[in-house]
Structure 1
Amino acid sequence: MNIVDLSHPLDPERMSIPPGLPQFTSCPIATVPKDGFSMHTVSFGSHTGTHVDAPSHFIADGKTIDQIPLTALVGPALVLDFTHKGPKEVITWVDIVQSPHAEKIEAGIILLFQTGWSKHWATTGGIYWDHPYLSADVAEQLIARGVCVIGVDCASPDKSVLAPPWVFPFHHSFLSRGGFIVENLTLREVQGPKVMVNLLPINLVGCDGAPVRGIAWK
């Protein structure tokens, strides 16, 4: 079985984190030469690196990370290729239904949007935040078809907003209907339209998001 890593490394020297949000740190507090063992303190925001958005990220009474069913984030996934989309270009429902393998969108499938934007992770100049994004109506269409988990290989399924006003229509629509969102995936090594994935987050009780070590296999 060939296992593919779908997550960016948590590396304080190479990360894309929006301005003003907590930076990732990993600091040694004990070393083997000095103390006989090694230990670090680790600090990060709940939406650092490759991570899951729980409904409570935007919905006041929405499920938190620890309330997400394990079965929701493990199973068959369909990869849709939108690498032809350019910076800040919208992906519409028409684009989706006209894309190859769209007929495989069905209830229970985990839908992954491959934009190719993960190649800009940790680059300078801010291009990582200029990714393609999903139109808000896509959320309702997917939920209506029984798709409750989507993942993107970029910062957000919405247009990234780095300063007020904060507007995230896809998040609000999808999370309010009980969906879950996985962000900052790497999908470059995923072969074929349909794979098995495990996108389980750290079990942070009461939290609105948590990092993922995502994997895919066939």
Structure 2
Amino acid sequence: MPTIIDLSHPLTTTGGSYCADHPTYNCKTVCTIAAGGSNVSHLTLGSHTGTHIDAPAHFFDGGATVSDLDLSLLVCRAVVIDARGKGPREVISWDDISGYAERFKAGVMVLICTGWSRYWGREEYPANPRLDVGAAREIADRGVRVIGFDSLSPDGIPPAGEEETHEVHRHFLGRGGAIVENLNGLEHLLDSDSVTVSVLPLRLEGCDGSPVRAVAWYEVSAQCIC
């Protein structure tokens, strides 16, 4: 039997981390069992709320939307990179991750573990380490089309007063790739050489992104009972 690991942050109405201009999550009861025989809720959230996936349309007019994404790229083997040694807003370079390069290929996703998910909902969260655009290019050059991070953005969120460049977003999405953000608990996958991850979005026609319920699993060998 496979061991299932949840890689998603819970969405609650009392906390979480969001980009400053994005909608937050809210859940309001609109029907109750007492009044109408069933409970129904009205949900409000953004396309990039919580653990979510960015489609090319997030940065490119006419780009592929979440309903266009190849599902076979979103449920596949993953290479999980240990980048937990990086501090706030430090750069993750190609030299930092090149040791994993022989495993980068078409049909796998690359997930970068910074350990930043521990700051979810706290003021430290937006200061995550960022990926160098040259490293993103090297990953894409090897055929990888999905990359994921346990942080708010692979480009990082600059301090107040500095302009956001979105270089990694523009390069990776510009090549038809997809980016998963706000993953949770990637450190639980670091000891496994063979793990499968699902980051399936809602089927939102024409939308630039979608929340996902990210999960991972790996097979546990059955023990012989003699």
Report the TM-score, using the length of structure 1 for normalisation: 0.93
Alignment match, 1:104? 103
Shift of 1:78: 0.6
Alignment counterpart, residue 158 of structure 1, candidates 155, 158, 182 = 155
Partner of 1:28: 29
SS of the residue corresponding to residue 173 of structure 2 reads helix
Residue equivalent to 2:142 = 145
- Alignment root-mean-square deviation, CA: 1.5
Deviations 1:63-84 (A, max 9, x none): 0010001111111001010011
Over 3 Å counting, the alpha-carbon distance change for 1:193 and 1:116 in structure 2 is farther
Letter in 2 for 1:55: P
| Change in CA separation of 1:170 and 1:157 when aligned onto 2, cut-off 3 Å | same
Over 4 Å off, 4+ runs: 161-164
Residue in 2 that maps onto 1:119: 118
**Superposition deviation, residue 160 in structure 1:** 1.4
Per the alignment, residue 167 of structure 1 pairs with: 165
State the one-letter code of the partner of 1:189.
Answer: H
| Residue 90 of structure 1: aligned partner | 91
Q: How many Å separate the matches in 2 of 1:22 and 1:153?
A: 20
8 Å Cα contact 1:80-1:193 kept in structure 2: no
Aligned partners of 2:133 and 2:171 also within 8 Å: yes
TM-score, normalised to structure 2, is 0.90
Matched AA of 2:178: F
Is the radius of gyration larger for structure 1 or structure 2? 2
The answer as to 2:63 corresponding to 1:65 is: no
Superposed displacement of residue 105, structure 1 = 2.0
Work out the number of aligned pairs and report it: 214
Q: Is 2:126 the counterpart of 1:129? A: yes
- Structure 2 contact 73–108 (Cα < 8 Å) conserved: no
Q: 1:16 to 1:163 in 2, by over 3 A?
A: farther
Which sections of structure 1, spanning at least 5 residues, go unmatched? none
Amino acid at match of 1:173: H
Q: Deviations over 1:106-145 (max 9, x none)?
A: 222100000000000012xx21000011011122211110
For residue 163 of structure 1, report the CA deviation from its aligned partner: 6.6
- Cα distance in 2 for partners of 1:163, 1:182 equals 26
